[in-house]
Amino acid sequence: MPPDTDLRAHERALDLPAPCDAALRFIGRIRTPFERREDCPRQGRPDGPECRIVLDEPWVPALRGLEAFARIEVLYWLHESRRDLVLQNPRRDGRVVGTLALRSPVRPNPIGTALVVLERIEGATLVVRGLDCLDGTPLLDIKPEHCPFGPGAAPAAPE
């Protein structure tokens, strides 16, 4: 049972079976200074505190080439979110908004995304600014800000 089970006024939840139709693989953990949800910013900022993305060891070779990017996209699993709300009352003021019209962490599949500033890479750890998630949030994926092999991109470095 997620910790935030109370509904706010006007919110509506679905009675869903336990999710079991897709399997995601966590590839690391995100370390942030935010220990409680209320400590997290609503969205990260490029001048936010340094956070550390700690990749599981087998995935470290997958970082090759990422150091060339000033900004990277991080995908993470908002693991403490409930997943059954269709309508939400985000400001607790009676204004009701559909879940898919929000960037709320409460969603059917609680995937968070953030475009963050890549400060440096230290082995398996990426030091970034611009995250908004709890300390210990599972890491799903990392992508460069744009495709390195698109039109106009520099040739790849030789092996």
The residues of the shown chain that bind ligand SAM, judged by CB under 6 A, are 37, 40-43, 78-81, 103-105, 112-114, 132-134, 137
DSSP assignment of 48-83, as one string? S-EEEEEE-GGGGGGGTTGGG-SEEEEEEE-TT---
* Closest to ligand SAM by CB, 114 or 118: 114
Angle at 4 between CA 16 and CA 102, to 5 degrees: 75
CB of residue 32 vs ligand SAM: minimum separation in angstroms? 8
Contact 84, 13 (CB under 8 A): yes
* Closest to ligand SAM by CB, 108 or 148: 108
* Closest to ligand SAM by CB, 42 or 146: 42
CB of residue 84 vs ligand SAM: minimum separation in angstroms? 14
Residue 120 amino acid letter: R
